[in-house]
A and B are shown apart, each in its own frame.
Chain A
Amino acid sequence: MKSQGISRRNFIKTVGITTALAATGTVPPLLYASERRLVTFPEKTELLLLTSRPPQLETPLKYFRELITPNEALFVRWHLADIPTSVDLATWRLVIHGNVEQQISLSMDDLKKFEKVVYTAVIQCAGNGRSFFNPPVFGGQWLNGAMGNVTWGGVRLKDILNKAGLKTGSMEVVFKGLDKAVLPATPNFLKSLPLDKALEDDIIVAYEMNGRELPMLNGFPVRLVVPGWYATYWVKSLSDIEVGVKPTDSFWVKTAYRIPDNPCGCVEPGTAPKKTVPINRMTTRSLLINPEDGSQLKSGQPVELMGVAFSGGYSIKEVLVSVDGGMNWRPARLGKDIGRYSWIQWFYPWQPAKPGNYHVMVRATNSIGESQPLDALWNPSGYLLNNIEKHNLIVT
C-alpha cells in the first residue's frame, strides 16, 4: 500500500472500514489468551494460528518426526501486515545498489545463472518457545513450532555482491523485502549483516525450498538464508540489497532483535540488560517429538523415543536422554548426519517396566561443547530459549 500523510479525519474512516471488513472474515475469533487453533492459509497445510494479519502460523510438532519439514508445514512469520500476495516474475527484480561499482538488477533468470548451492539448514524464529518464558514476556507467544529443517537451493550472496563490485569503505549489507508497513509512520522491515558476515560462503539467496519454489508466505520468489543464525536475518521476498558505508539506523536493527551483551545472552529474570548486541547464532537445542509430552504408554511395551537436535552451525556430537527426571543419562542413537546446519534425529529405545509418571529429559551438545542449561535463561525479548525440557509420559 502506498500511502502518504493520512489526516486525522481520514484516519477515522480507515479504521471504520477495516473493522467492518474484519467482521466478515473466515478466521474464527479467538476468545482466550494463548488459545491455539488450526487454520489453513494459501499453500499451507493446517497450522497453529498465532496471528492472522500479518500471518504468523506455527508448525504442529508431529511434522518434526521427519528429517525434512515439508514446504506446506513450515511456519510463517511476518512483521508488517502489507505482505506481498502477488508477484510477477516478468517484472520482479533483485536490485543491488549502494557502495558498489555498478548497480545491478537481476531477474530470476539472471539469478539462476550464478552457481547453484544446495544444503539443508534449520530455520528458527528468534522467539521460538517464547511462550515458555517465566516470567512471561511480550511478543509472539510461540510454542516450539516456529522452526523447521529445509533443503535450501539458491546462489551465493557473495557472488551477487562481487558481480556488483564492492567499493572500498563498505561496512555492512542491508536487506529489504516486498513487505510494507500499513501506516507510513511505522518503520519498514529490514535487516543488516556486517560485511565480513555477508561475504561468508554459506549465505545464499534461496529460490528453492526442498526442490520447489518458495511458498508465497515463506518469501516467494527469493529469501536470504543465513544458516546457523536466527531467521530474523532470512529476509523474505528479498528485493533490495544495499551496501552501506555506515551502520543502518533502522529500528529493526538498532532496537529490535537484540540480546544482552554477555556470553549467555541473559539477565536476571525481570531485569533489563545494560548493553545489547544484535541477535545472531542459534543456541543448541534438543526436543522430544514423539511420543509428545503427556502421552500415555503401556508398561512392559517397548517404545522408541525420538526427537531432533541442532545448534547454530556446529554438528551435534551427543544427545543424552534421561527417563527418570535427570538422575541417570544415557546416550541416544543419532540419525544420519546431513550437514552441520541441519538438525539431526535422535532415537532412544525404551521399555518402561512399571506404571507411573516418567519425566523425560533430553540434552544435546555440539562439536564445540555448547550445550543446554537445566533451567531456562531469561532475557526481556524472549529469545534464545534452549533449556533442557522436562516432559511427562504417563505409563499405565
Chain B
Amino acid sequence: MKTTILLCIGASLVYTTMALAADKGFVMDGTKRTITLPAPSVSLINGPGRDITSSYCNICHSLDYITTQQKFPEARWHAVVTKMVKTYGAPITEMNVDIITHYIATYYGTGK
C-alpha cells in the first residue's frame, strides 16, 4: 500500500502544474537542474467503456496515444491493446481488453 502511494506522489510532483518562473525553462538549485512538465489532460469522448479506457490506458502514458492515431478498425485496435498487455505488461483483463477495444474503435477508429 505504502509503496503505491509514494509512487503516485512521485508522479504528481513530476507532472505538477506550474508556471515556469525562469525564461530559460529550468531552475538551478546549486548544481541541480530541474524542469517542470505541464500535466497532460486529454478527455476522451463520452460513451460506454470510456471510464475503463481512461483509467487503464492512462497508467503508462497519456491518452493522446489513442487520440492522435489514425482511424483503424476494431481488429487492429485489439492487436494494439493486446500488445500493451503482452509486451508492456498492462494489467488489463481479457474482458476489459474487449470493452476498451470496442470503445476506441467506435469513437476513434472506423467502428467494426
Residues of A with C-beta under 8 A to B75: none
Flag if A24 contacts B69 (CB, 8 Å).
Answer: no
The secondary-structure label for the interface of chain B is loop
Q: A115 on the interface (CB 8 Å rule)?
A: no
CA gap between A22 and B87 in the complex, in Å: 25
Flag if A14 contacts B59 (CB, 8 Å).
Answer: yes
The secondary-structure label for the interface of chain A is loop
Residue of B nearest to A139 (CB): B69
Q: Among the listed A29, A52, A89, A215, which residue makes an inter-chain contact with B43, where contact means beta carbons less than 8 Å apart? A: A29
Residues of B with C-beta under 8 A to A44: 25
One digit per residue, 1 when the CB lies within 8 angstroms of any chain A CB and 0 when it does not, for chain B 1-26 equals 10111011011101101001000111
Flag if B3 contacts A86 (CB, 8 Å).
Answer: no
**Chain A interface bracket (under 10, 10 to 19, 20 to 34, 35 or more):** 35 or more
One digit per residue, 1 when the CB lies within 8 angstroms of any chain B CB and 0 when it does not, for chain A 20-43 equals 011111111111111100011111
Best-surrounded residue of A4, A42, A53 (most CB of chain B within 10 A): A53
**Chain B interface bracket (under 10, 10 to 19, 20 to 34, 35 or more):** 35 or more
Known: A24-B41, A34-B68. A8 touches B35 (CB 8 A): no
Q: Which chain A residues (221-278) contact chain B, with CB distance < 8 Å?
A: 251, 255
Known: A3-B7, A33-B68, A42-B20. A53 touches B1 (CB 8 A): no
Known: A33-B67, A136-B70. A15 touches B58 (CB 8 A): yes
Flag if B60 contacts A181 (CB, 8 Å).
Answer: yes
Q: B112 on the interface (CB 8 Å rule)?
A: no
Flag if A85 contacts B69 (CB, 8 Å).
Answer: no
Closest 5 CB pairs of A and B: A185-B89, A25-B41, A25-B39, A52-B40, A43-B25
Q: Which residues of A contact B (CB under 8 A)?
A: 1, 3-4, 6, 8, 10-11, 13-19, 21-35, 39-44, 49-55, 80-82, 85-90, 131, 136, 138, 140-141, 181-187, 215-217, 220, 251, 255
Q: Can you give 5 contacting A-B residue pairs, CB < 8 Å?
A: A17-B8, A21-B39, A30-B68, A35-B67, A186-B60
Known: A17-B8, A87-B33. 13 other contacts (CB 8 A): A6-B3, A18-B59, A21-B15, A26-B39, A27-B42, A29-B41, A32-B67, A33-B71, A44-B25, A136-B71, A183-B91, A185-B89, A185-B91
